[in-house]
Amino acid sequence: MEKKTLLTDCPDSKGLIAQITNICHKHQLNIIKNNEFVDHQHGRFFMRTEIEGYFNDQTLLADLDFSLPKGSHRALISAQKKRIVILVTKEAHCLGDILMKSTYGGLDVEIAAVIGNYNTLEELVTKFNIPYHTVSHEGLNREEHEKKVLEAISPYAPDYVILAKYMRILTPEFVKVYQNKLINIHHSFLPAFIGAKPYQQAFDRGVKIIGATAHFVNNDLDEGPIITQDVTHIDHSYTADDLVKAGRDVEKSVLSRALQQVLDDKIFVYANRTVVFQ
């Protein structure tokens, strides 16, 4: 017996749940958990099904293909551990949380490698017996540096690339290579404080709450589909530095929660939004 997750999204029409669950039933697969959502604005149906049984992937997908409306996507994902590459700059808190959880419980993921544009975090990463590559941006233009980063990532063939406080802007060319596989933690409650130095911006504005946002990266800076967000309360006594420090705990927990949802195949991306099943 095996467990897999079936992700279906297609134009909405009558009887979709019955059609899909019937096909599962016909294949003698047991449904462990099921979630659906209809985006009525876009007329689109989303369904996530955890199934258990003896799979014949090809005939199952063919049956679904025959049954579902045109314009449908189906993915049948094995419940095997996913592989990620993490990009970092100098800050340790998000990286450290993922290292801890992948090693000691909390995130069931294989960290294939960590790549930094500085060597600051090499010592931390090697403690966990994970390869660290320093790909310095010094003396290189953006395209040259990204080419080297892509070359460093590529051999690991990661399912996802995690930007764990990677402080460089990516070109559309880079993003295209890992479409819907690039996850960033932004150190603000988007869309407030887009761009650089969000904590200084937050301080200057005198806000009473700061937050963090985990999102997929697309071409526009800080504009990709949001996965999850959270906030923490602050007051007038916080300096800009205090905000940075308070923000760290939110950032790491938000990124870690988003990563969990990604690893569990709980997310659909559609129309620059996410459907995140709990």
Active site residues: 222
* CB-based contact 84:107 (threshold 8 Å): no
Q: Which CB atom, from 154 or from 272, has the smaller least distance to a second copy?
A: 272
Residue 29 C-beta: closest distance to a second copy, Å: 9
Q: Does 124 bind a second copy (CB under 8 A)?
A: yes
Kindly indicate which of the ranges 59-67, 133-141, 168-176, 233-241 contains the residues binding a second copy, using the contact rule CB under 8 A.
233-241
Residue pair 51/4 in contact (Cβ under 8 Å)? The answer is yes
Query: In the numeric block, which tokens belong to residue 65?
Result: 């293909």
* Cβ 147 to a second copy shortest distance, Å: 30
Verify binding: residue 115, a second copy, rule CB under 8 A. Answer: no
Q: Is 36 in the site for a second copy (CB under 8 A)?
A: yes
- What burial letters (b/e) apply to 62-96, b meaning 16+ CB within 10 Å? ebbeeebeeebebebeeeeebebbbbbbebbebbb
User: Using the rule CB under 8 A, which residue among 208, 219, 220, 241 binds a second copy?
Assistant: 208
Nearest partner of 87 among 1, 171, 183, 8, judged by Cα:
183
Cβ neighbours around 188 below 10 Å, total: 25
The contact pattern for a second copy, residues 156-195, with x = CB under 8 A and - = no contact, is: ---------------------------------xxxxx--
Q: Counting contacts by CB under 8 A, is residue 70 touching a second copy?
A: no
Instruction: Pick the closest to residue 182 from 210, 221, 151 (CA basis).
Output: 221
CB atoms within 10 A of CB 278: 6
Candidate ranges 1-9, 29-37, 145-153, 162-170; the one touching a second copy (CB under 8 A): 29-37
Sign of CA dihedral 73, 162, 225, 178: negative
Closest distance to a second copy from the beta carbon of 127 (Å) = 4
Query: 9-28: which residues touch a second copy (CB under 8 A)?
Result: 14-15, 17-18, 21-22, 24-25
β-partners of residue 232 are: 210
Residues between 235 and 274 with contacts to a second copy, criterion CB under 8 A? 235-237, 239, 245, 248-249, 253, 256, 272-274
148 lines the binding site for a second copy (CB under 8 A):
no
- Spell out the alpha helix ranges (H) of the chain: 16-26, 57-67, 93-104, 122-127, 142-153, 172-177, 198-205, 240-263
User: What is the full DSSP assignment across 5-24?
Assistant: EEEEEEE--TTHHHHHHHHH
Smallest gap from residue 146 Cβ to a second copy (A): 27
Size of interface with a second copy, in residues (CB under 8 A):
66
Residues that bind a second copy (CB under 8 A): 14-15, 17-18, 21-22, 24-25, 30-41, 92-93, 96-97, 100-101, 103-106, 124, 127-128, 189-193, 205-209, 211, 225-231, 235-237, 239, 245, 248-249, 253, 256, 272-276, 278
